[in-house]
Amino acid sequence: MGHESPAGDLRLTNLTKRFGVLTAVDDLDLTVPQGSFFALLGASGCGKTTTLRMIAGLEAPTSGQVLLGDRDIARLRPYQRPVNTVFQSYALFPHLDVAENVAFGLRRRGIRNVDDQVRRMLALVQLDGSGRRRPAQLSGGQQQRVALARALVNHPRVLLLDEPLGALDLKLRRQMQIELRRIQNEVGITFVHVTHDQEEAMTMADTVAVMNAGRIEQLGAPADLYEFPATAFVANFLGQSNLLAAEAAGPAGADVPVTAHGARFSLPVGRARSDRGAVYLGVRPEKLHLAGSADQVPDGHQHVDGVVTDASYVGVSTQYLIRTGWGSELVAFAANSGLGQRFPVGAPVAAHWDPRHAFLLPREPGPTDDRPDRPAARRAGEGAVANAPRHLLRRVVRPAKRRGAA
Ligand SMILES: Nc1ncnc2c1ncn2[C@@H]1O[C@H](COP(=O)(O)OP(=O)(O)O)[C@@H](O)[C@H]1O
Ligand SMILES: [Mg+2]
C-alpha cells in the first residue's frame, strides 16, 4: 500500500465526531482505494453510520478531513459532493413510479431527456419493464434495487451503503449480496458498504475494516483478517477463536515459545502479533483437529488433551466442545467428509493443530483467564455468532470452574 493517493481515493484523516461527551468516531484514518468494494464492519453503535454521514455531508465532523483525491470535501454541502447514499429504509417516493424515482436526481439537475439513462439503470439492477410500477407494488428486494438505481444514475464517485440489506430475509440477502458485487464490478464505482454482518462483509468486500468503539481495529483483505487477526476482538468478531491465555518470553530463532497452563507450545515468529509477556495463543475451530490419543497426533502438530463434552451434528460439520485438563472449553469443527473419525461425548481426545495455523495476540496482563473480552459477541442477536448453534454462543474458551466454594 503506497502513501501516494491516486486521484479518486477516499481518505478520512483524523476524522472525529463527538456528541457531547460521547466520542462516536475517534480519530479515524482510513483510505478507501478508488473503485474498491470496501466494507466497514462493526457491532451496533460502534460509529459506522456516523462515519458515513460525515462522508455524505449529513453530519459535520468535530475535527478531521474527508478527502476525495486531493480535494477536501468536508465543507461541501451534501448535494455538492460526488457521493450518494443507499439506506436500509429505501425512502422511495411512494407517489412516483419506479422510472420517476430513478430519474429524480437527473431531473433535479435539470436534465430533460432521461429515458435512456433510466432504462439503462433499470436493466443494470434487473428491473427492465418495471418502470411504470409504483414502489408499493414491488417486493422489498425490488425496492432496494430501485434505491440502488436511483443512486447510481447520478454517477457518484463514491456510493455509500448503510446496511442496505438489513430489511431483507436471509435468502434475498444472499442474492442481493451477489447482485451488489456484480453491479459494483460493472460500474467500477467505489462502494463503501456498512454492515454488522461479518459474513456479508467477508463475502462482498475486497477490503474490510473492523470497527470497534469509534476506531478501526484492523483493516485488510477478508482472508488476511480471518487467518491472522490482530486483536482478540477481531479474532472473535470475525468468526470464532480458541484463545489460550499464555506467556511469551520473546522469539527463539524462527519460533516464539509460549507457556500456557503449564504446557509449552511454539509458533513461527511470523504468526505473532506480540511475542513477549501476556499473550493469547489462538487457534480457529476448523484448524483444531481431534485424535483419539496423543500418539496419533501428526508430526509437527501441537496438542492439548481433553474430553469431548458436546458433539453437535450440523450437516456439513460436527462441532465439538472439548474440556481441557485445566477446565477450559475449546471448540473444534470437523468437516463431515466421511473420512475422519467421529468422537462421542465423553471420549478422551488430543486436540491438535499445526503451529503455522496458530496465532499470537496481545493480552491485557492480569490474572490468568482464558476469556477474551468479547463485547461484540455478547450482542449476539447480530453479526459474528448469529448463525452458530445456541450452545456455541457461549464464550469459546471458558474459565476453569472453581473447585469448592467460590
Ligand atoms: N445525533 C446523535 N446524537 C447523539 N448521539 C448520537 C447521534 N448519532 C449517533 N449517536 C451515538 O453515536 C454512537 C455511534 O452511532 P452510529 O454511528 O449510529 O453507530 P452504528 O451505525 O455503528 O450503529 C452511538 O452511541 C449513538 O448512540
Ligand atoms: Mg448504523
- Per-residue confidence of the chain (406 residues) as pLDDT tens digits? 444 445 789 999 999 999 999 999 999 999 999 999 999 999 999 999 999 999 999 999 999 999 999 899 988 999 899 999 998 887 899 999 999 999 999 999 899 899 999 999 999 999 999 999 999 999 888 999 999 999 999 999 999 999 999 888 888 889 889 989 999 999 999 999 999 999 999 999 999 999 999 999 999 999 999 999 999 999 999 999 999 999 999 999 999 999 999 999 999 999 999 999 999 999 999 999 999 999 999 999 999 999 999 999 999 999 999 999 988 999 999 999 988 889 999 999 999 999 999 999 999 876 554 544 333 333 333 223 333 333 343 344 444 444 444 3
Which amino acid is residue 249, in one-letter code? A
CA of 86 to the centre of ligand 1 (A): 18
Q: Ligand 1 test: best mutation among 16, 50, 212, most atoms within 8 Å of CB? A: 50
The CA distances from residue 223 to 15, 219, 331, in Å, are 27, 11, 20
**79 close to ligand 1 (CB < 6 Angstrom):** no
Contact predicate 67/13, CB 8 Å: yes
Contact predicate 78/56, CB 8 Å: yes
Q: Give the full edge-to-edge strand order of the sheet including 348-353.
A: 289-291, 348-353, 302-313, 317-324, 329-335
Q: Ligand 1 test: best mutation among 19, 52, 195, 217, most atoms within 8 Å of CB? A: 19
**50 close to ligand 1 (CB < 6 Angstrom):** yes
Q: Which ligand is nearest to the CA of 48?
A: 1
Cβ-Cβ contacts under 8 Å for 326 (sequence gap 6 or more): 261, 262, 400
How far apart are the C-alpha atoms of 108 and 285, rounded to whole Å?
54
Contact predicate 113/171, CB 8 Å: no
How far apart are the C-alpha atoms of 232 and 197, rounded to whole Å?
18
> What pLDDT was estimated at residue 171?
87
How far apart are the C-alpha atoms of 31 and 335, rounded to whole Å?
38
Closest listed residue to residue 359, CA positions, set 248, 263, 253? 248
How far apart are the C-alpha atoms of 65 and 74, rounded to whole Å?
6
> What pLDDT was estimated at residue 388?
38
Q: Centre a 10 Å sphere on the Cβ of residue 305 and count the other Cβ atoms it contains.
A: 15
CA dihedral 295, 301, 306, 307 (to 10 degrees): -70
The CA distances from residue 92 to 87, 99, 173, 371, in Å, are 10, 11, 19, 46
CA of 366 to the centre of ligand 2 (A): 34
Q: Whose CA is nearest to atom 16 of ligand 1?
A: 47
How far apart are the C-alpha atoms of 372 and 273, rounded to whole Å?
16
Q: Which ligand is nearest to the CA of 211?
A: 1
Can you read off the three cell numbers belonging to residue 259? 507457556
